[in-house]
A = this chain, B = another copy of it.
Amino acid sequence: MGSTVHHIALVVRDLDEALAFYRDVLGLEMIERREVAEEGVEIAFLSAGESMIELLRPLSDEGGVARFLDKRGEGLHHICLAVDDVEVAVERLRAAGAQVLNEEPRVNDHGVRYVFVHPKSAHGVLLELYERT
Which residues 48-86 in A have Cβ within 8 Å of B in the complex?
48-51, 73-76, 79, 81-82
Does chain B have a CB within 8 A of A107? no
Which residues 93-133 in A have Cβ within 8 Å of B in the complex?
93, 96, 98, 119, 121-125
In which size bucket is the chain A interface?
35 or more
Residues of B within 8 A of A25 (CB): 92-93, 96, 98
Q: Are the CB atoms of B26 and A81 closer together than 8 Å?
A: yes
Query: Which residue of B5, B73, B75 is within 8 Å of A48 (Cβ)?
Result: B5
- Which residues in A have some Cβ–Cβ distance to B below 8 Å? 1-5, 8, 10-13, 17-18, 21-22, 24-29, 47-51, 73-76, 79, 81-82, 89, 92-93, 96, 98, 119, 121-125
